[in-house]
Amino acid sequence: MKTMKWGAAAMALGLVHFAAPAEAAGGKTLEAVKARGVLNCTGHDGSYLGFAEVDDKGNWKGMDIDLCRAVATAVLGDPAKLKV
């Protein structure tokens, strides 16, 4: 029983150890996006139906694009501050 508690404690400590650097690195990215004033949502060519596609009017739509707009709204306060 003692061994299980020590194992669980060691695992929890290991998870905290690996999560901490990710938190610190994320701050630089967030500050860069805020300084730029636009969220870059790249890696799409418009052919991923349902995820990232261009409609007949040339507007981007899909789940990935909606997620990018949500992040742009949360970080920059405007869903239009998105570059695809």
Number of domains, the chain: 2
Q: Is 73 a residue whose pLDDT tops 80? A: yes
Task: Report pTM.
Answer: 0.64
31 lies in the same domain as 42: no
24 lies in the same domain as 49: no
Q: What is the pLDDT of residues 40-60, one digit of tens each?
A: 998 778 788 889 999 999 999
Residue with the larger pLDDT of the pair 34 and 20: 34
Q: Which residues contact 41 (CB under 8 A, 6 or more apart)?
A: 64, 65, 68, 72, 82, 83, 84
Residue with the larger pLDDT of the pair 48 and 76: 76
Q: Which of 78, 47, 49 is nearest to 62 (CA)?
A: 49
Residue with the larger pLDDT of the pair 1 and 48: 48
30 lies in the same domain as 66: no
20 lies in the same domain as 1: yes
- Is there a contact between 62 and 51 (Cβ–Cβ < 8 Å)? yes
Distance CA 27, CA 75 (A): 12
